[in-house]
Amino acid sequence: MVSTAENKTQYKVVGTRPIRHDGLEKVTGQARYSADINLPGMLHGKVLRSPHAHAIIKSIDISRALALPGVESVITSADLPQPSGRVADLGEGAMMNPKFLSNNVLASDKVLYKGHAVAAVAAADQHVAEEALGRIDVEYEVLPPVLNAVDAMKEGAPILHERLYTAENPFVRPGGLRDDSDPEGGSNVASHFVFELGDLEKGFAEADVVVERGFRTKAVHQGYIEPHSATAMWNRDGHVTIWCSSQGQFAMRDQSALILDISMSQIKVIPLEIGGGFGGKTLVYLEPVAALLSKMTGRPVKVSMSRQEVFEGTGPTSGSFMKVKMGATKDGRITATTATLIYEAGAFPGSPINPGVQCMFGPYDIANGRVEGYDVVINTQKTAAYRAPGAPAAAYAAESVIDELAEKLNIDPIDFRVRNAAKEGTRRLTGPVFPRIGYLETLEAAKNHPHWSAPLEGPNRGRGIATGFWFNGSGPSSATASVNQDGTVSLVEGSPDIGGTRAAVAMQMAEVLGLPAEDVHPSVGDTDSIGFTSTTGGSSVAFKTGWASYEAAQDIKRQMIERAAYIWDVSAEDVDLTDGVFHHKSDPELRFTFKELAGLLLETGGPIVGSAAVNPGGVGGAFAIHIADVEVDPETGKTEVLRYTALQDVGKAVHPSYVEGQIQGGAVQGIGWALNEEYFFDDEGCMTNSSFLDYRMPTSLDLPMIDTVMVEVPNPGHPFGVRGVGEVPIVPPMAAIANAIKAATGVRMTNLPMSPGEVLKALWDSEESKNSD
């Protein structure tokens, strides 16, 4: 369902639902993903991983492994250049201390989590490689691990990085190391910062009701179905080709170059189809390892992870400890809020604490507030970005407290949000002022949705809502498009396509040129074939690469108008393109369809190629509100989601089916996070549920249909009004479900996940406290 908020331009292609260009290859099994590469003479690599969460590597003896027939090479971090500990800005969103990046790929002096890569083998096949891993003898001195942020911040806690200092500025990337001459010791707190606005004391004094709560969430994995895999060939001239799937072929190139200490132009990364990423495929893991093994052996090497390795060796998102205090007046006006967020970064600095803090109170106009953030290292997997990094946990805390305030004041929870809603001109607690946004329109759509007024029949059932904000991203992006003589256009773009963005990007070009979507053929270029394009992340691709595609189309349009003018011997100013027809503005005889003119190009001056390289501003934030109905089984504590509706301001939905898909997928990841998913660790820091059997993601059987409502408040900062859509749908679900469980049971769940055992315990505790009253 599309809900139109205001009159808008009518488009011919944008807003329609063509079959995606890459669909056929994906339903027939022809599409090639990272592990689908098989090269002549290829060797298979495997990675040895640490059995300890925290230990010093005393020695590594590879001789017995090398002696195994079929083993061609064994590498350790000693074979990698050791980069400096100076923080480098390599790209958005992720920590980029080269030493940490390198040490996460292969540990040097210490292992910092169970599953940390220690060595790698290249062998004739993967079974031999696996056998060889058991013949690498590593001597460890085991150290006590620290497994949560609260313990890690205590005086006397085991220190992960002896030289790590605490950055005190939110805009400084954490992960800086002290010089060796500096006598100060290291800290597990990589970053600590505060945002403040207004007068807190005055704000809380004005409040009639104050709610204060603490929350705890656990690490959860992105859960993409495709395990990481990389294949590399180190050529004799020093140039390296890497085939892999990632969210950014340029990020893989640049990070690999940094770790291997070679020039980025020596590496060509060929992006294969990516089988899910959700933020988790933005960092290198295997790429430099495969490259180095290829260098050692002179043969192509493929290294693939098992599912267990994906869980134990790649980034989940942060667990968190959060405290929120919020006050409001009787008539439902928020007067002040404070929050402290402690995010667990895992073994290396760089949790998404900053975006978490920035998005936490995004939906609200709050005059007085203070938010404090901590980025803390612990002996678990180094975290990586996960869909709206940092925002979901923060929103879980904020939206639970807001629900409680509305409940105490006996105000409808949607009305309460309407009274405090951010709108154009509102200054966020963290500084920026909103341009035109569609939060109020989205709340209005929820209020009017039949779900909101439908009766909830039966016992143990409850309905909850929550809202969410994600600021959305942009970044450098490139597109090149060639006009074919048959009137179609071949478009090469730089953004790996995770969920249908080829279609969304091609459609924006088709719109400009007056072509059907099917006549623009999009493909994703390798790092030698297309200009630099920043990572597919931050809900940026339909926006930034859509914009590059729009500009490349304008370039084609301009050149084709000039060509028509040349053929007709008229001024280019008198020629225009309307609905796919080039025509003279005053002489109706002079007209070419796009296809007719395309067929004449070679004989009238040569081919036409349009290109664009952009780094657009004008990003528009996204808001969502979700409505969840649940039933809680009082015997087992199991929560069943009965009905779910997700409403969102999508700006302009370029391909509405794939926008719906993003909303549904994000909502369901959030439902998994809310109800089932978590990393379990034993006391030694070993993950005890590293399989899809024990790490329980939602299945088709666990869910109802996910209804979506696309509210369209066009982003004035984009030619077609596009806002990013992919991330904000994972922000509201945890609080929406927690609020629904509260409505169903009277119990407020302040820890994630709200698994059956946890809910049952909370129900029993609440019974006990009632009985003791």
Partner 1 sequence: MSKKIHVQTNINGLDVDLLCESRQSLLEVLRDVLNMTGTKEGCNDGNCGACSVIVDGRLIDSCLMLGVEAEGKEITTIEGVAYTHGLHPIQQSFLENAALQCGICTPGFIVAAKALLENEPEADEGRVRHWLAGNLCRCTGYDKIVRAVLDAGKTMATQSKSES
- What residue ranges bind partner 1 (CB under 8 A)? 17, 19-20, 22-24, 26-33, 35-36, 38, 69-70, 124-125, 127-128, 222-227, 273-278, 306-307, 498-500, 655, 657-658, 660-662, 664-669, 691-693, 697-701, 703, 705-706
Task: Output 127 or 408, the one with its CB closest to partner 1.
Answer: 127
> How many Cα neighbours within 13 Å face the side chain of 245?
26
CA distance 631 to 200: 39
Task: Output 127 or 585, the one with its CB closest to partner 1.
Answer: 127
The answer to whether 380 and 113 are in contact (CB under 8 A) is yes
- Please state the closest distance from residue 36 (CB atom) to partner 1, in A: 4
The answer to whether 403 and 734 are in contact (CB under 8 A) is no
Task: Output 266 or 306, the one with its CB closest to partner 1.
Answer: 306
Residue 88 burial (CB < 10 Å; 0-12/13-18/19+)? middle
SS (H, E, C) 690-728: CCCCCCCCCCHHHCCCEEEEEEECCCCCCCCCCCCCCCH
- Please state the closest distance from residue 349 (CB atom) to partner 1, in A: 27
- Please state the closest distance from residue 702 (CB atom) to partner 1, in A: 8
Task: Output 296 or 667, the one with its CB closest to partner 1.
Answer: 667
CA nearest to 112, candidates 682, 685, 683 = 685
- Please state the closest distance from residue 280 (CB atom) to partner 1, in A: 10
Task: Output 226 or 526, the one with its CB closest to partner 1.
Answer: 226
- Please state the closest distance from residue 314 (CB atom) to partner 1, in A: 14
CA nearest to 366, candidates 427, 275, 451, 282 = 427
Task: Output 23 or 756, the one with its CB closest to partner 1.
Answer: 23
CA nearest to 347, candidates 10, 115, 567 = 115
- Please state the closest distance from residue 508 (CB atom) to partner 1, in A: 18
Task: Output 103 or 662, the one with its CB closest to partner 1.
Answer: 662
CA distance 674 to 758: 12
- Please state the closest distance from residue 23 (CB atom) to partner 1, in A: 5
- Please state the closest distance from residue 71 (CB atom) to partner 1, in A: 11
Task: Output 70 or 476, the one with its CB closest to partner 1.
Answer: 70
Q: At what angle do helices 733-745 and 391-408 cross, to 10 degrees?
A: 30
CA distance 507 to 521: 10
Token pair recorded at residue 83? 């980069």
DSSP state of 593: E
The answer to whether 149 and 91 are in contact (CB under 8 A) is no
Residues 6 or more apart whose Cβ sits within 8 Å of residue 600: 563, 567, 592
- Please state the closest distance from residue 501 (CB atom) to partner 1, in A: 10
Task: Output 6 or 694, the one with its CB closest to partner 1.
Answer: 694
- Please state the closest distance from residue 350 (CB atom) to partner 1, in A: 23
- Please state the closest distance from residue 389 (CB atom) to partner 1, in A: 17
Task: Output 226 or 375, the one with its CB closest to partner 1.
Answer: 226
- Reading phi first (left if > 0) and then psi (alpha if -120 to 50, else beta), residue 107 is in beta
Task: Output 227 or 538, the one with its CB closest to partner 1.
Answer: 227
Task: Output 19 or 433, the one with its CB closest to partner 1.
Answer: 19
Task: Output 668 or 713, the one with its CB closest to partner 1.
Answer: 668
Token pair recorded at residue 98? 């080269």
CA distance 527 to 541: 17
CA distance 672 to 316: 14
CA nearest to 324, candidates 405, 397, 412, 271 = 397
- Please state the closest distance from residue 141 (CB atom) to partner 1, in A: 33
- Please state the closest distance from residue 191 (CB atom) to partner 1, in A: 30
Token pair recorded at residue 147? 């497994």
- Please state the closest distance from residue 168 (CB atom) to partner 1, in A: 37
Task: Output 273 or 441, the one with its CB closest to partner 1.
Answer: 273
CA distance 621 to 359: 10
Task: Output 181 or 699, the one with its CB closest to partner 1.
Answer: 699
Token pair recorded at residue 37? 């590469």
CA distance 18 to 13: 9
Q: Tell me the sheet residues that pair with 490.
A: 482, 521
DSSP string, 84-147: -SS----SSSS---HHHHHHHHS-SSEE-STT-EEEEEEESSHHHHHHHHTT-EEEEEE-----
CA nearest to 736, candidates 419, 357, 449, 462 = 462
- Please state the closest distance from residue 661 (CB atom) to partner 1, in A: 6
Residue 315 burial (CB < 10 Å; 0-12/13-18/19+)? buried
CA nearest to 722, candidates 646, 645, 621 = 621
